[in-house]
Amino acid sequence: MRFTLMIEAQQGLTYAEQLELARLAERVGFEAFFRSDHYRSFPGPADRPTTDAWTVLAGIARETKTIRLGTLVSPVTFRHPGSFAKVVTTADEMSGGRVEVGIGAGWNEPEHSQLGLPFPEIRERADLMEDELAILHGLWEEPDGWSFDGKQVRVVAASFNPKPVQRPHPPIIVGGEGSPRSLRLAARYADEYNMSSADPDQCTDAFGRLDVECRKIGRDPAVIRRSVMAGLLVGADAAEMERRVRDQLAMVGDAGTDAAGWLEERRPRWILGTPDQARAMAARFAATGVERIMLQDLLPRDHAMIELAARELIGRV
């Protein structure tokens, strides 16, 4: 099993804090450091500062050496596909070929309207996502002169240089909850499919349907990696676990949420508990075909928990 540290940077984390976390993840042995791509703060208070994901990752790329970097996931509504291809390619060059790109249709309407960004209904967003996936492959893999006439975006006689450092392109991750369209898009375009906040049974079901979609188009299902984003809340013993649960509830409760209900609903799909319990849950995911767990850390300023997770999970599941 491979492990990634994944943070929700819109919780008010500064660039300096995110860099410190990336360096910590690199030092303790995480394969990759991923962050969300959001412009509105949540969970917790909605008025915390937020930063741009790809600007931050480009900076971190220059101040780390080996850890891979990526987003989970970048909404297609934030950046035009052609511009996005340039952004990712630039970050790939700056990192020496260490970036990965998660792509999704977007879901948080307020973070769009508050910045004047269009937020069409889901069918249009999914159409744009399909265009973006095709355009990334085309601009990164096809020779100059490539053209594309998509559902919403048209490319005429492309000129795209330089190409990414990683060939044929940085790994593309399609994220979702197992919807039919996300699985079809992953089968055609993705290097990895990530189940978002799913329990092991949901992973088994979705991965089986992904195999079917791959075979429909003649693609070997084995070439698509399987991953899951799972919340992280661990303690070395019962007392430490109890303290971290209190910290997590306080963070969620800041927004007036039913914090206890919020956490209880997530328990069946989180890496949660003492080390033995955490490893048992990771093993359940591994049994479904999950090859990488994105540990979603909602207490990112608790560096001791990150160190504990690395010590007890990496190389032991």
Read off the CATH number of the domain in which 56 is found: 3.20.20.30
Q: Can you give the pTM of this predicted structure?
A: 0.96
Q: What is the pLDDT of residue 256?
A: 59
Strand, helix or coil for residue 69: strand
CB-based contacts of 274-281 (< 8 A; 24+ apart in sequence): 274/234, 274/235, 274/236, 274/237, 274/238, 274/241, 275/234, 275/236, 275/308, 275/312, 278/234, 278/309, 278/312, 278/313, 279/312, 279/313, 279/316, 279/317, 281/230
pLDDT of residue 258: 83
Q: Find the domain containing 122 and state its range.
A: 2-313
Q: What is d(CA 260, CA 246) in angstroms, rounded to the nearest whole number?
A: 10
Measured CA to CA in angstroms, residue 203 lies from 71, 198, 295 at distances of 21, 6, 16
Q: Which residue has the tokens 């006439």?
A: 149
Beta-carbon contacts of residue 162 (< 8 Å; ≥ 6 apart): 89, 93
15-28 and 303-313 are packed helices; what angle lies between their axes, rounded to 10 degrees?
20
Task: HSE, CB side, 13 Å, CA atoms: give it for residue 203.
Answer: 27
**d(Cα 235, Cα 232) in Å, to the nearest integer?**
10
What residues contact 223, with CB distance under 8 A and at least 6 apart? 191
Cα 270 versus chain centre, distance = 16
Per residue of the chain (317 residues), give pLDDT as tens: 999 999 999 999 999 999 999 999 999 999 999 999 999 998 878 889 999 999 999 999 999 999 999 999 999 999 999 999 999 999 999 999 999 999 999 999 999 999 999 999 999 999 999 999 999 999 999 999 999 999 999 999 999 999 999 999 999 999 888 999 999 999 999 999 999 989 999 999 999 999 999 999 999 999 999 999 999 999 999 999 999 999 999 988 765 568 889 899 999 999 999 999 999 999 999 999 999 999 999 999 999 999 999 999 999 98
Query: How far is residue 215's CA from residue 179's CA, in Å, rounded to a whole number?
Result: 17
Query: In this predicted structure, what is the pLDDT of residue 75?
Result: 97
Structural domain total, the chain: 1
Q: What is the pLDDT of residue 255?
A: 54
Place of tokens 């309207």: 113
Q: Which residues lie below 8 Å from residue 277, measured CB to CB, with a gap of 6+?
A: none
Q: With residue 192 as reference, give the H or E element that holds it.
A: strand 192-196
